[in-house]
Amino acid sequence: MCGRFALYSDPYALSHRFSTEAPLDLPPRFNIAPTQSILIIREESNKRQFTLARWGLVPHWAKTIEVGYTSYNARAETVAQKPGYREAFKRRRCLIPADGYYQWQAVAGSKAKQPWFIVLRNQLPMALAGLWEEWRSPAGENLESCVIIVTEANALLRSIYNRMPVVLAPAHWNDWLELRARDTHRLQNLLKPYPSEEMAAWPVSRKVNNPMYDSEKCIETVN
């Protein structure tokens, strides 16, 4: 799954990488957790735009915001059919930029799990496949929220955990953002494990377990 990630690239580097207009001036973040506000990229008026959304998708029909507390990942195999995601899958897709994400590995004989930090081998920001949704609270307040789509792990990451977020190659960014609802089959074909040879991973400190701890030390290698 994907329960934490980091985004620390310079905003102007992100703007160049994703061919967007003026970037948002955001501080580097090394331990982003569900329910926090995160950066997403979506298509608006035929242009890619940065915006912020709450991580944890709240469907437009939800009665309370609590639905989003557990809806931070959507499985690639069922995202097109699940009531909470299917409309967003057809019409409201986004890219979620990340410099890397964390995954926890079970350790034999221990209840404590070992966190790993996972990146593209070329160290460029990756684009995670996401969906976004707009929800209106009973009090009349609007909330935009999002979810990260996950798929089966590739060969490199399988020993850490059996799932991984869908990482989209640059050649597929436009397809993900622009394809229409009738192209559901083509969209589904994009939700594949990213090639192992293009990724790298290393163990990091268990300090990342605390979502309040946000430091560059989160991504440093440990023995």
What is the pLDDT at residue 66? Answer: 84
* Three-state DSSP class for residue 178: helix
* Three-state DSSP class for residue 56: coil
What is the pLDDT at residue 46? Answer: 85
Q: How confident is the model at residue 23 (pLDDT cuts 50, 70, 90)?
A: low
Domain 5-100+123-195 has CATH 3.90.1680.10: yes
Mean pLDDT for the stretch of residues 109-122:
95
Q: Record the pTM.
A: 0.95
The pLDDT tens digits of the residues spanning 186-219 come to 999 999 999 999 999 999 999 999 999 999 999 9
What is the pLDDT at residue 154? Answer: 97
Mean pLDDT for the stretch of residues 153-180:
95
C-alpha 147/C-alpha 104 separation (Å) is 19
81 class by beta-carbon count within 10 Å (0-12 exposed, 13-18 middle, 19+ buried): exposed
What does pLDDT average to over the chain? Answer: 94
Instruction: Please give the distance of CA 26 from its chain centroid, rounded to a whole number.
Output: 17
C-alpha 96/C-alpha 109 separation (Å) is 36
The pLDDT tens digits of the residues spanning 130-143 come to 999 999 988 888 99
* Distance in angstroms between the alpha carbons of the first and the last residue of the chain: 24
Mean pLDDT for the stretch of residues 161-170:
98
Structure tokens at 222: 């440990």
Q: How confident is the model at residue 64 (pLDDT cuts 50, 70, 90)?
A: confident
C-alpha 188/C-alpha 200 separation (Å) is 25
Q: How confident is the model at residue 105 (pLDDT cuts 50, 70, 90)?
A: very high
Domain ranges of the chain: 5-100+123-195
CA proximity to 80, closest of 190, 170, 5, 165: 190
What is the amino acid identity at position 52? Answer: L
- Whose tokens are 């990482």? That residue is 167
What is the pLDDT at residue 70? Answer: 83
